[in-house]
Amino acid sequence: MTGPRIIDGKAVAAEVRAEMAKKVAAIKSKHGQVPGLAVVLVGEDPASKVYVRNKGAQTVEVGMNSIEHKLSAETSQDELLALVDTLNKDPQVNGILVQLPLPKHIDAELVLNTIDPIKDVDGFHPVNVGRLWIGERALVPCTPTGSVILAKSVAPNLSGMDAVVVGRSNIVGKPMAALLLRENCTVTIAHSRTRDIENVVKKADLVVAAVGIPEFVRGDWIKPGAIVIDVGINRIEGPDGKGRLVGDVNFAEASKVAGAITPVPGGVGPMTIACLLKNTVEAFEMQTGLSADA
Ligand SMILES: Nc1nc2c(c(=O)[nH]1)N[C@@H](CN(C=O)c1ccc(C(=O)N[C@@H](CCC(=O)O)C(=O)O)cc1)CN2
Ligand SMILES: [Mg+2]
């Protein structure tokens, strides 16, 4: 018996970056401009520092301009709002990303809603959320976009599939459902209050787990042959007392049943930054009317 197909997020993310590097080079040679991405970090959260460093490095690697603003944890909300306003007005900045989480004294929703929707490369602004749901051209959240790319890497046509999204957050679960609907899936959003969740998930040809609970989805919830996309990144203590990363799916169990499955780490995670680069190119094209082709 052959095992499940392990979906290699690192490899697919490298393909997306290579595609973006080609596009950026074509834009540069045709129009003499390159897209610019501004990333704002407030405070000293160690994981956030790593993600911001990786975002800057990968932005430069594909040939775009990276602008980093590292602010102290004591930065006031007004100072942050003023910086966002300056970036909104700067024509060299095509994409703005404020790294989350923000310190507790700052209203994250207010800050995110202050980003000009056309520069909102996270796709979190209500204008982009609305555009996504009504099928207009929008900047779409990176993690759900990456998750769809991974699902399509093993099943290029998702049309007609029963998809169950476990989790209803604004940044993953809900946009994920909108994107799968756009792919003509029949979409169910399950969550912590869903009755008989095992049997809801069991009907799915495609399961996306984004609930934020380590190993929540068990192997016997998975329909044999289903595609399983695990968005969770949870740091837990292993039996040896050392920290390890696990997803929202019990991988050891689910991989015995699934047709294809993403690992954690090395699945959805690497796609998040690759899709951020993709959104920055998209934002540049929307703002300037210039593209790699014309
Ligand atoms: N403004 C935003 N803030 C945050 C986002 C976001 O999309 N926009 N997402 C996360 C953090 N994040 C990017 O910002 C991110 C998280 C994880 C990964 C990743 O590649 N993970 C690896 C494992 C890394 C590890 O060992 O810790 C993997 O899954 O293989 C990339 C980006 C919260 N904040
Ligand atoms: Mg992963």
Give the homologous superfamily in CATH for domain 142-270.
NAD(P)-binding Rossmann-like Domain (3.40.50.720)
Burial of 78 (0-12, 13-18, 19+ CB in 10 A): exposed
Distance 233 CA to ligand 2 centre (A): 7
Low-confidence ranges of the chain (pLDDT < 50): none
Which tokens is 215 given? 């190993």
- In the chain, which segments carry CATH 3.40.50.720? 142-270
Q: How far apart are CA 102 and CA 42, in angstroms?
A: 6
Count H helices and E strands in the chain, helices first: 10, 11
The ranges of the chain annotated as CATH 3.40.50.10860 are 32-119
Q: Is 55 a catalytic residue?
A: yes
Classify residue 72 by its DSSP letter.
-
Is the beta carbon of 282 within 6 A of some atom in ligand 1?
A: no
User: What are the structure tokens assigned to 43, written together?
Assistant: 């405070």
pTM for the full predicted model: 0.97
The CB of 56 under 6 Å from ligand 1? The reply is no
pLDDT at 1: 55
Tell me the C-alpha distance between 268 and 290, whole Å: 30
Specify the fold of 32-119.
Rossmann fold (3.40.50)
Q: What is the number of the ligand 1 atom nearest to the C-alpha of 10?
A: 30
pLDDT digit string, tens, across residues 192-208: 899 999 999 999 999 99
Bridge-based pairing state of the strands 227-230 and 260-261? parallel
C-alpha–C-alpha distance, residues 45 and 290, integer Å: 37
